[in-house]
Amino acid sequence: MTNPTTEPETIHLAVPKGRTEEAVTALLADAGMRLRSGGPRGYRPVAPAPGYEVKLLKPQNIVEMLSAGSRDVGFAGADWVAEKGADVVELLDTGLNPVTVVAAAHEDLLVDGALPDRRLVVASELERLASDWIDKSGLDAGLVHSYGATEVFPPEDADLIVDIMATGETLAANGLVVIDELMMSSTRLYAGRHAMDAPGKKARIEDLVLSLRSVLEARGRVMIELNVATDDLEDVIEALPCMREPTMATLHGEAGMAVKAAVPRGSLPDLIPALKEKGATDIVVTRLEQIVP
């Protein structure tokens, strides 16, 4: 932890500009760092915590600047880290904006599900990943760099593409089918090695990671509270998928026990009927803001 009596080292934080911006700023806000906008054309939002200098950047630029040492910590997709071959430290997988990097071809190109035996053209914005995949696959193929909207290249301007896929709807709408998966990606928090080698910066970055992780943990859980007769207590506890042990207190007049536990949000549809069947009453479910184990 940082020493509150000393001036904190400035942390240069990069937030992605574009489709992941809203999700990342919401995560930071839930962790107590609600950024104040620099205006519709501003790229320098203001952080409420002292000692943070924030800049909005393209994810690929964030990766490059972390490697170069001009940014200390920032959010970017794992696909861009792999694409840039960046020497950075992964701190936290937020799980936000999950995508898969895929190779896809127009359905009319395939013969019995296989690529034709001829020289092919591959379009991609991810040149390093695409080139590595071409070599690994043993394809005779040339590479065309795209600047977004890669899915429109086939069939006239390219045979295949290497691109990110979220739902697959865009690929399907353009008559493309996935022929290989290169990697899974999501928005993650990375640090430059220079920052992790500086004790003052490292301590503040680790504090930030702890706060963000606590928010992500809380998003996946809810607090469930219930009352139960003493005779049914053990059956109810056995059904609770809590983190460690539930919190319990004796009800007024020793009429039973009050039980409280943080449980996975996704377990609720099956969990609540099971608890009722085992004797739980007065069940209350509340949202959690942060969980620090």
pLDDT digits (tens, 9 = 90+) for 58-101: 999 999 999 999 999 999 999 999 999 999 999 999 999 999 99
Whole-structure pTM value: 0.88
- β-partners of residue 163 are 102
Spatial CB neighbours of 251, under 8 Å, sequence gap ≥ 6 = 227, 257, 258
> With bands split at pLDDT 50, 70 and 90, how would you rate the model's confidence at 41?
low
pLDDT over 50 at 43, yes or no:
yes
CATH number for the domain running over 11-95+186-219: 3.40.190.10
First-to-last alpha carbon distance for the chain, in angstroms, is: 17
- What tokens appear for 227 in the block? 């009352």
From the candidate CATH numbers 3.40.50.1820, 3.30.70.120, 1.10.3720.10, 3.40.50.620, the one assigned to the domain spanning 221-287: 3.30.70.120
141-186 pLDDT tens trace: 999 999 989 999 999 999 999 999 999 999 999 999 999 999 999 9
Where along the chain do its domains lie?
11-95+186-219, 99-185, 221-287
* The domains spanning 11-95+186-219 and 99-185 adopt the same CATH topology: yes
**117 CB-contact burial (10 Å; exposed 0-12 / middle 13-18 / buried 19+):** exposed
- What tokens appear for 22 in the block? 């809203």
CB 133 within 8 A of CB 101: no
CB 279 within 8 A of CB 232: yes
Stretch (H or E) spanning 77: strand 73-77
Which amino acid is it at 56? L
CB 98 within 8 A of CB 23: no
Average predicted confidence (pLDDT) for the chain:
92
> Distance (Å, rounded) from C-alpha 98 to C-alpha 28?
18
Please tell me the predicted confidence (pLDDT) of residue 1. 47
187-211 pLDDT tens trace: 999 999 999 999 999 999 999 999 9
CATH number for the domain running over 99-185: 3.40.190.10
Percent of the chain surpassing pLDDT 90: 83
